[in-house]
């Protein structure tokens, strides 16, 4: 394989020497591979297992300005027991909310396996002073968040100030303490797969526990090629250093079919080791209902209606 | 110069305003043509399209719905000869057109005839308002192929429902021709969906589908009791539609009556 110029001139990314070379992404091949993996035929039994896995790895999300503690509590209840008529279904991995709603969720999920995730650092734009972002993270952790979903400063990244992006992640990671840090790249704003790969490696180098595709606030969000691009970067890091970094696909995943395609992608790129809530998440809100409808369809044989599932 | 090769038509389904082949790729032979044989997944797609399109259709003004239905009649009128070849003849086409016009006229008269203001013992206005039931599945009668379909599809349609209809199994070509009329007559995509295929295969899927609110099993093969049992799961309305009937009560079969109380102000 031809060796692309490793770093462009003026690239100030403080990468450790042992990190894999950054390289360039072959967009055509990437999209082709993502598309071919999406065409896999998943037969019924495997489909049910994949859907159950999708529930276990879902961060059930609500990120609206109109969210209330009541709605957050309702979402938390749904994450605990997705379908009250079928107690055999697993719980979701986490509930993802704005910082102010962390206590409401915390109260509902305390003592269970469901984690509390919160977005911070001036979500969704990230266009705030570093001190504000760090304070945001500290406050959110104090409120009881187990996981912090931060956004990178895309403005800084796109204007080549990689060191600022890197330093912010380092500081936020420090502010997180024991909380897990997921770094949102907002790939829809990064423009190219090269940028996505670069931002992924930069976030990993700065200490991210997870890298996450998008905020869910803009489209395109978690497309399959973008997910594949990030997964390959995670794979390269793992092969080079042995470090396991998690991946969260979020934004635009509304149908069970899409969720399964994402799971196939992870399985083919990183292997089944990554298919656990510790290393893989799906960020979604309406996806869960579609999965529940699919599962009930498999159980009863009849196609389902949204009328019989909770709205949130 | 070589002889011109005529373009042959591929008979397809009508789902969400477009004309896809069956997702299964299957066809069956009817009236000497290969016609798409819809699968359960096509049913699923059609119901999804209908559910998506229904609120806007129900929300359109009654006047507008009437105009759109009238335009279906205009479209068929212009193609009487073509339709006549696909059914029992010109008479059936003309009766179908007249029936469409008749139902189109009902769009803005339903609330007055089927609803009303009710006398109650208290300082309240009490109104009864007819509302569409939602997504209606129709198993069209096998005969007559065009008039039967029009007779069963128009009543739910004029009431503001979205329809998924399975055409006559033996004579589906008139239905496909009608779909082309619908596509060019301002009926919003997804409000009427037409499938061709085997009733025995598709009927149970529609009857058990939880997102279908009413089913007309007039064209079902043989024993309908199993379909009624399946329809009971989400308490679908089950209508045994007749192939040649014209009445406002046909429309009422697919409407819910909502009663509204409103205090009389000072």
pLDDT tens digits along A295-304: 999 999 999 9
Topology given in CATH for the domain delimited by A27-308: TIM Barrel (3.20.20)
Query: If contacts are CB pairs under 8 Å, which of residues 72-131 in chain A contact chain B?
Result: none
For the record, the structure tokens of A69 come out as 């503690």
Distance CA B15, CA B197 (A): 14
Residue spans per domain, chain A: 27-308
What are the chain B neighbours of A303 within 8 Å (beta carbons)?
43-44, 47, 205, 208-211
- Give the distance, in angstroms, between the CA of residue B182 and the centroid of all CA atoms in the same chain: 11
By Cβ distance, the residue of B43, B230, B234 closest to A305 is: B234
- Is B163's pLDDT higher than 80? yes
Distance CA B146, CA B37 (A): 19
Confidence tier at A21 by pLDDT (50, 70, 90): low
**Residue A125 DSSP SS3:** coil
Q: Considering the entire predicted model, what is its pTM? A: 0.88
In sign, the C-alpha dihedral spanning B17, B18, B24, B29 is positive
By Cβ distance, the residue of A302, A306, A308 closest to B209 is: A302
**Residue A68 DSSP SS3:** coil
State whether residue B121 sits within 8 Å of chain A by CB.
no
Q: What is the pLDDT of residues B191-245, one digit of tens each?
A: 999 999 999 999 999 999 999 999 999 988 777 899 999 999 999 999 999 999 9
Q: Which residues of A55-70 are buried (b: 16+ CB within 10 A; e: fewer)?
A: bbbbbbbbbeeebeee
Q: What is the pLDDT of residues A91-140, one digit of tens each?
A: 999 999 999 999 999 999 999 999 999 999 999 999 999 999 999 999 99
- Is A7's pLDDT higher than 70? no
Tell me if ipTM is over 0.95.
Answer: no
CB B125 within 8 Å of CB B144: no
Distance CA A257, CA A237 (A): 29
**Residue A272 DSSP SS3:** helix
State whether residue B235 sits within 8 Å of chain A by CB.
no
- Is A18's pLDDT higher than 60? no
Q: Which of A305, A306, A308, A309 to mutate to test the interface with B (most CBs of B within 10 A)?
A: A305
Distance CA B227, CA B236 (A): 11
CB contact under 8 A, A303 and B234: no
CB contact under 8 A, A304 and B230: no
User: What percentage of chain B exceeds 70 in pLDDT?
Assistant: 99
- Is A8's pLDDT higher than 80? no
CB contact under 8 A, A302 and B47: no
Distance CA B208, CA A200 (A): 47
The overall average pLDDT reported for chain A is 91
Q: Domains of chain B, with CATH numbers?
A: 27-263 (3.40.605.10)
| Residues of A classed as catalytic | 149, 212, 248
**Residue A289 DSSP SS3:** helix
């Amino acid at each position: 394989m031809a060796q692309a110029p490793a770093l462009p001139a003026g690239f100030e990314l403080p990468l450790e020497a042992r990190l894999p070379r950054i390289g360039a992404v072959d967009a055509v091949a990437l999209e082709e591979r993502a598309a071919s993996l999406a065409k896999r035929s998943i037969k019924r039994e495997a489909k049910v297992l994949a859907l159950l896995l999708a529930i276990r790895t879902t961060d059930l999300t609500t990120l609206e300005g109109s969210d209330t503690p009541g709605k957050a509590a309702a979402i938390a209840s749904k994450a605990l027991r997705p379908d009250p008529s079928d107690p055999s279904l697993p719980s979701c991995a986490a509930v993802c909310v704005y910082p102010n709603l962390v206590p409401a969720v915390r109260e509902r999920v305390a003592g269970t396996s469901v984690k509390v995730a919160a977005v911070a650092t001036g979500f969704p734009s990230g266009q705030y002073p570093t001190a504000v972002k760090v304070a945001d993270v500290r406050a959110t952790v104090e409120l009881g968040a187990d996981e912090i979903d931060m956004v990178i400063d895309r403005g800084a990244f796109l204007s080549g100030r990689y060191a600022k992006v890197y330093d912010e992640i380092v500081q936020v990671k420090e502010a997180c303490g024991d909380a897990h840090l997921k770094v949102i790249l907002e790939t829809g704003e990064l423009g190219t797969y090269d940028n996505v790969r670069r931002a992924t490696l930069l976030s990993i180098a700065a200490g991210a526990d997870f890298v996450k595709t998008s905020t869910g606030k803009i489209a395109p969000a978690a497309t399959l090629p973008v997910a594949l691009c990030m997964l390959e970067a995670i794979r390269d890091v793992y092969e080079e250093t042995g470090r396991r970094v998690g991946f969260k696909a979020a934004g635009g995943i509304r149908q069970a079919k899409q969720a399964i395609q994402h799971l196939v992608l992870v399985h083919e790129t990183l292997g089944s080791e990554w298919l656990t809530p510790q290393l893989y998440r799906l960020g979604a809100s309406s996806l869960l209902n579609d999965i529940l409808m699919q599962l009930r369809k498999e159980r009863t044989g009849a196609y389902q209606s949204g009328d019989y599932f909770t709205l949130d | 110069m070589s002889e011109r090769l005529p373009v042959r038509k591929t008979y397809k389904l009508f789902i969400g305003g477009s004309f896809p082949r069956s997702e299964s790729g299957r066809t069956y032979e009817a009236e000497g043509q290969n016609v798409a044989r819809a699968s359960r997944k096509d049913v699923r797609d059609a119901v999804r399209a209908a559910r998506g399109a229904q609120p806007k259709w129900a929300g359109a003004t009654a006047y507008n719905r009437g105009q759109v239905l009238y335009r279906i009649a205009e479209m068929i009128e212009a193609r009487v000869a073509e339709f006549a070849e696909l059914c029992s003849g010109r008479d059936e086409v003309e009766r179908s057109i007249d029936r469409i016009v008749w139902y189109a006229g009902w769009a803005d008269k339903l609330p007055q005839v089927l609803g009303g203001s009710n006398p109650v013992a208290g300082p309240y206005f009490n109104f009864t308002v007819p509302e569409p039931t939602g997504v209606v599945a129709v198993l069209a009668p096998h005969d007559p192929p065009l008039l039967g379909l029009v007779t069963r599809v128009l009543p739910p349609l004029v009431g503001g429902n979205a329809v998924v209809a399975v055409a006559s199994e033996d004579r589906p070509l008139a239905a496909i021709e009608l779909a082309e009329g619908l596509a060019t007559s301002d009926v919003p995509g997804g409000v009427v969906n037409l499938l061709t295929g085997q009733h025995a295969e598709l009927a149970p899927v529609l009857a058990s589908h939880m997102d279908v609110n009413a089913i007309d099993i007039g064209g079902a093969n043989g024993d309908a009791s199993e379909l009624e049992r399946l329809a009971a799961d989400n308490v679908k309305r089950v209508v045994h539609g007749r192939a040649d009937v014209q009445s406002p009560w046909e429309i009422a079969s697919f409407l819910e009556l909502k009663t509204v109380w409103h205090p009389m102000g000072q």
